[in-house]
Amino acid sequence: MATAAPSLAAERLDRLSRIWRERSGLVGWLTTTDHKRIGILYFFTALAFFAAGGVEALLIRTQLAAPDQHVLSPNAFNQAFTLHGITMIFLFVIPVSTGAFGNYLLPLMIGSRDMAFPRLNALSYWIYLASGIFIYIGLVTGNAPNAGWFNYVPLASKTYSPGTGIDFYALGLIFNAISTTASAINFIVTIFNLRAPGMSLNRMPLFCFAFLAVSFALVFALPPLTCALMLLELQRLLGFHFYDVASGGDPILWQNLFWIFGHPEVYIIILPAFGIATAIIPTFTRRRMVAFPLVALAELLVAFIGFGVWVHHMFAVGLSTATTVYFAAASLIIVIPSGIQLFAWITTIVTGTPRFKTPLLWIVGFIVLFMLGGLSGVMFAAIPFDQQVTDSYFVVAHFHYVIFGAAVFPVLGGMYYWFPKVTGRMYYERWGQASFWLSFAGMNLTFFPMHIVGLLGMPRRDYTYSGGLGWTAPNLIETIGAYLLAAGLLMVVVNLAVSLFRGEAAGNDPFGGDTLEWATTSPPPAYNFPVIPRVSSPYAMWDREDREEDARNLERGSRVLERGHETPASTAVDADWDEVLTMPSESAWPPLLALALSGIFAFLLLKLWIVTGVFLLACLGVLAAWHGKEPQEAS
Amino acid sequence: VLAYLPAVVAYARTRRKVGAPPELTLPVVGLAPLAAALGLPRGRFRSAAIWTAQMWAYKVSFEVPHDRPARQRERQHIDYPIRADSVIGGGMPPGQRLQRRLRSPPRLSRLDRAASLVYFAWELEPHLAMLWLLRRHPARWPAAAGRLAATFDLTLLGYFAVPSAPPWWASEREDRMGHEVRRVVAEVGRELRGKPRPGIDHYTGSNPWAAMPSDHFGSALMTAMVLADVDRRLGAAAGAYAAALGLALVYTGEHYVTDLIAGLLLAIGVRFVAPAAERPARRVAAFAVEVDAEARVIVLRRTAPVCPPRGRGSDERAPFRARTAQPLRERPTSKWGTAVRLTAWLSAFGAMIAVSGCGRQSTLDPHSPQSHDIRTLWWWMLVAAGVVFLGAVAMLVIGWIRRREPGLPLLGGGERTETRLVVLFGMVIPVVVLVALFFVSNVYVIGKTEPPSPGSTSLSVEVTGHQWWWEVHYPGTAAVTANEIHIPARTRVNVIGNTDDVIHSFWVPQLNRKIDLIPGRNNRVLLDASQPGVYRGQCAEFCGLQHAHMAFEVIADPPDRFQAWLQNMAADAPQPATAAERAGQAAFMQDQCSSCHTIRGTGAQGQIGPDLTHLASRGTIAALTLPNTPQYLSQWIRDPQHFKPGNKMPGLNLSGQDVNSLVAYLRSLR
Asked if the Cβ–Cβ distance from A318 to B396 is below 8 Å, we say: no
Position B341 confidence tier, pLDDT thresholds 50, 70, 90: low
Q: Is the pLDDT of residue B354 over 80?
A: no
Q: Which of A358-362, A377-381, A630-634, B48-52 has the lowest mean pLDDT?
A: A630-634
Q: In what order do the strands lie in the sheet with B551-557?
A: B484-488, B551-557, B533-539, B504-507, B515-517
- 10 Å Cβ neighbour count for A609? 11
Dist. CA A278–CA A94, nearest whole Å: 18
Query: Pick from A96, A89, A88, A94: which is nearest to A42 by CA?
Result: A96
Dist. CA A339–CA B437, nearest whole Å: 16
Question: What pLDDT does B483 receive?
Answer: 95
Position B79 confidence tier, pLDDT thresholds 50, 70, 90: confident
Q: Which of A217-221, A414-418, B44-48, B567-571 has the lowest mean pLDDT?
A: B44-48
Q: Is the pLDDT of residue A480 over 80?
A: yes
Q: Which distant-in-sequence residues (6+ apart) come within 8 Å of B514 by Cβ?
A: A316, A387, A388, A390, A391, B505, B506, B507, B525, B540
Q: How far is CA A306 from the centre of its chain?
A: 17
For residue A457, give the nearest of B361, B419, B450 by CB distance. B361
Would the CA dihedral through B473, B478, B482, B486 be positive or negative? negative
pLDDT (tens digit, 9 = 90+) per residue, A21-64? Answer: 988 889 999 999 999 999 999 999 999 999 999 999 999 999 99
Residue of A nearest to B542 (CA): A461
Dist. CA B415–CA B661, nearest whole Å: 86
Dist. CA A225–CA A178, nearest whole Å: 12
Using an 8 Å CB-CB cutoff, list chain A residues near B548: 74, 462-465
Question: What pLDDT does B314 receive?
Answer: 41
Asked if the Cβ–Cβ distance from B518 to A251 is below 8 Å, we say: yes
Burial of A55 (0-12, 13-18, 19+ CB in 10 A): middle
Using an 8 Å CB-CB cutoff, list chain B residues near A473: 287, 349, 352-353, 356
Asked if the Cβ–Cβ distance from B356 to A456 is below 8 Å, we say: yes
Q: Which of A274-278, A498-502, B274-278, B368-372 has the lowest mean pLDDT?
A: B274-278
For residue B545, give the nearest of A74, A148, A251 by CB distance. A74
Pairing mode, if any, of strands B484-488 and B551-557? parallel
Amino acid in the structure at residue A380: F
Asked if the Cβ–Cβ distance from A316 to B543 is below 8 Å, we say: no
Mean pLDDT of B303-320: 46
Position B262 confidence tier, pLDDT thresholds 50, 70, 90: very high
Dist. CA A244–CA A159, nearest whole Å: 10
- Return the residue in B434, B445, B511, B522 with the most chain A beta carbons within 10 A, the one to mutate for interface testing: B434
Using an 8 Å CB-CB cutoff, list chain B residues near A341: 426
Question: What pLDDT does A282 receive?
Answer: 94
| B232 three-state secondary structure | helix
Question: How many CB pairs below 8 Å do chains A and B form together?
Answer: 284
Asked if the ipTM is above 0.90, the reply is: yes
Using an 8 Å CB-CB cutoff, list chain A residues near B513: 316, 384, 387-388
Q: Which of A132-136, A352-356, B478-482, B630-634 has the lowest mean pLDDT?
A: A352-356
Mean pLDDT of B375-388: 92
Length, in residues, of chain A? 635
For residue A470, give the nearest of B359, B434, B645 by CB distance. B359
Question: What pLDDT does B202 receive?
Answer: 59
Position B473 confidence tier, pLDDT thresholds 50, 70, 90: very high
Query: Pick from A208, A186, A217: which is nearest to A122 by CA?
Result: A186
Question: What pLDDT does B322 receive?
Answer: 39
Position A440 confidence tier, pLDDT thresholds 50, 70, 90: very high
Tell whether omega for the bond before A524 is within 30 degrees of 0, i.e. cis.
no
Asked if the Cβ–Cβ distance from B396 to A469 is below 8 Å, we say: no
pLDDT (tens digit, 9 = 90+) per residue, B622-655? Answer: 999 999 999 999 999 999 999 999 999 998 888 9
Dist. CA A527–CA A277, nearest whole Å: 27
Please work out, in degrees rounded to the nearest 5, the angle formed at the alpha carbon of residue A416 by the alpha carbons of A410 and A417.
Answer: 80
Dist. CA B388–CA B279, nearest whole Å: 44
Question: What pLDDT does B502 receive?
Answer: 95
Helix (H) or strand (E) holding A376: helix A358-379
Mean pLDDT of A219-247: 95
Residue of A nearest to B513 (CA): A388
Burial of A329 (0-12, 13-18, 19+ CB in 10 A): middle
Asked if the Cβ–Cβ distance from B398 to A392 is below 8 Å, we say: no
Asked if the Cβ–Cβ distance from B353 to A452 is below 8 Å, we say: yes
Pairing mode, if any, of strands B484-488 and B493-499? unpaired
Q: Is the pLDDT of residue A1 over 80?
A: no
Query: To the nearest whole percent, how much of chain B has pLDDT over 90?
Result: 45
pLDDT (tens digit, 9 = 90+) per residue, B650-669? Answer: 988 889 999 999 999 999 99
Q: What is the pTM of this model?
A: 0.79
- Return the residue in A456, A475, A477 with the most chain B beta carbons within 10 A, the one to mutate for interface testing: A456
Asked if the Cβ–Cβ distance from A391 to B523 is below 8 Å, we say: no
Mean pLDDT of A126-145: 95
Question: What pLDDT does B307 receive?
Answer: 53
Of A627 and A482, which is predicted with more confidence? A482
Position B407 confidence tier, pLDDT thresholds 50, 70, 90: low
Q: Which of A162-166, A336-340, A468-472 has the lowest mean pLDDT?
A: A468-472
> Considering chain B, what is the average pLDDT of its residues?
83
Asked if the Cβ–Cβ distance from A147 to B415 is below 8 Å, we say: no
Question: What pLDDT does B628 receive?
Answer: 93
